Amino acid sequence: MSRVTLSRYLIEQTRCNHTPADLRFLIEVVARACKEISHQVSKGALGGVLGSMGTENVQGEVQKKLDVISNEILLEANEWGGHLAGMASEEMDNAYQIPGKYPKGAYLLVFDPLDGSSNIDVNVSVGTIFSVLRCPDRNGDEGDLGEEAFLQPGTEQVAAGYAIYGPQTMLMLTLGDGVKGFTLDRELGSFVLTHDNIKVPESTKEFAINMSNQRHWEAPVQRYVSELLAGETGPLGKNYNMRWVAAMVADVHRILTRGGVFMYPRDSREPEKPGKLRLMYEANPMSMIIEQAGGVATDGNQRILDIQPTSLHQRVAVFLGSKEEVLRISAYHRE
* CATH (domain of 160): 3.30.540.10
218 shares a domain with 186 = no
Angle, to 10 degrees, between the axis of helix 65-78 and the axis of helix 21-43? 150
The pLDDT of residue 334 is 93
The pLDDT of residue 51 is 83
In a domain, 1, yes or no: no
**What letter represents residue 284's amino acid?**
N
164 shares a domain with 71 = yes
Look at residue 185 and give its three-state secondary structure. strand
The pLDDT of residue 140 is 58
Residue 197: burial class (beta carbons within 10 Å; 0-12, 13-18, 19+)? exposed
250 shares a domain with 296 = yes
Output DSSP code: residue 213. Answer: G
The pLDDT of residue 37 is 97
DSSP assignment string, 245-312: -S-HHHHHHHHHHH--EEEE--BTTSTTSS-SEEIIIIIHHHHHHHHHTT-EEESSSSBGGG----ST
Final residue in a domain of this structure, among 145, 173, 195: 195
The pLDDT of residue 117 is 83
154 shares a domain with 184 = yes
239 shares a domain with 144 = no
In a domain, 109, yes or no: yes
**103 near 110, Cβ under 8 Å?**
no
**176 near 160, Cβ under 8 Å?**
no
Strand-strand pairing, 96-97 and 84-89: antiparallel
State the number of CA atoms in the 13 A half-sphere of 191 facing the CB: 31
Cross-strand pairs, 253: none
Which alpha helices (DSSP H) does the chain contain, by range?
6-17, 21-43, 65-78, 219-230, 248-258, 284-292, 323-334
In a domain, 226, yes or no: yes
Give the residue from 119, 147, 145, 116 showing the smallest Cα distance to 129.
116
114 shares a domain with 171 = yes
The pLDDT of residue 141 is 63
Residues spanned by the domain of 191: 6-195
In a domain, 273, yes or no: yes
Cross-strand pairs, 262: 208, 320
The pLDDT of residue 190 is 96
Final residue in a domain of this structure, among 172, 195, 218: 195
CA distance 15 to 193: 18
Residue 264 belongs to domain with CATH number: 3.40.190.80
Residue 136: burial class (beta carbons within 10 Å; 0-12, 13-18, 19+)? middle
253 shares a domain with 151 = no
In a domain, 318, yes or no: yes
Final residue in a domain of this structure, among 195, 214, 236: 195
The pLDDT of residue 104 is 93
The pLDDT of residue 58 is 67
**Total domains, the chain:** 2
92 shares a domain with 211 = no
Q: Residue 218 phi/psi, 5° resolution?
A: -75, 165
The pLDDT of residue 52 is 84
274 shares a domain with 125 = no
64 shares a domain with 118 = yes
241 shares a domain with 95 = no
In a domain, 108, yes or no: yes
pTM, full prediction = 0.95
pLDDT along the chain (335 residues), means of 10: 89 89 96 97 88 72 88 97 96 94 96 92 94 85 86 98 97 97 95 96 96 95 97 96 95 96 93 92 98 98 97 97 97 95
291 shares a domain with 169 = no
CA distance 146 to 78: 18
Give the residue from 109, 151, 102, 154 showing the smallest Cα distance to 131.
109
CA distance 184 to 233: 44
**287 near 297, Cβ under 8 Å?**
yes
